[in-house]
Amino acid sequence: MTKTALITGATAGIGKATAQLLAKHGWNLILTGRRIERLETLKNELSEKYDVTVHVLNFDIQDYKACEKAWNSLNLEIKNNVSVLINNAGLASGRSPIHEGDVHDWDLMIDTNVKGLLYMTRLVVPVLKEKMSGHIVNIASIAGKEVYQNGNVYCASKHAVDALSRSMRIDLLPFNIKVTNVAPGAAETEFSIVRLKGDTDAAKAIYDGFDPLMAEDIAETIWFALSRPAHVNINDLVIVPTAQANVTNLVRK
């Protein structure tokens, strides 16, 4: 039976790379994001190249009603075929100290990283519970394990993801639903461009002097977790570039 995964934030970075890898392995997909053109392009690319079924849902994950409407737009057969939820949508916005923080940035990070994850989990889990099987992968961050200067609210939001992953694992244990927390270190995606409000030069400089993780590295880590035997669950994975020991110790050439 062909498996179906729902991936949030699939228009770029880790979400897109994961969609490409799962399609390569023959999985059907439900891809969500705010940039409809990118979603449609990816849908066409994957369905043509790998002969898989791809559905796209264009909505803002910060809005529960929009999440609910998008999910309910799928017919019952499509929803019932979902066996994996990858809560990937997330971002950082701004790098200010706590006393200079932009409240809009705070809302954006909390509403996306925490509430968006909760919204999609709340909608999809009843399907997995009914089947007594499934797998949820939450994309956290090394910032959910440690904190760093000017990371305040972003770190708090990813610590919340880490805590939610552990809580979900307990709550969903009776229903045979796996939960995996994946915490990347320095990874070169659109993450820093978004955080720095489109300053591409400053974003590129963050990765100067070392080889960062790429989105494909994280996708392969997700695939490892998903492809374990039925009796094996990977609870938590921290993945960093070789040049990085932890959130503050990184060697540049």
Catalytic machinery residues: 154
Q: What are phi and psi of 42, to 5 degrees?
A: -65, -40
Count CB atoms within 10 A of the CB of residue 208: 9
DSSP state of 75: -
Q: Assign residue 240 a region: left if phi > 0, alpha if psi is -120 to 50, beta otherwise?
A: beta
Query: How many whole angstroms separate alpha carbon 195 and alpha carbon 178?
Result: 31
Q: Cβ distance 130 to 145 under 8 Å?
A: no
Give the helix ranges, DSSP H, for 132-214.
Answer: 152-171, 191-195, 200-205
Token pair of 124, please? Answer: 């999809």
Query: For the chain, how many residues are written?
Result: 253
| Helices 117-131 and 152-171: angle between axes, nearest 10 degrees | 10
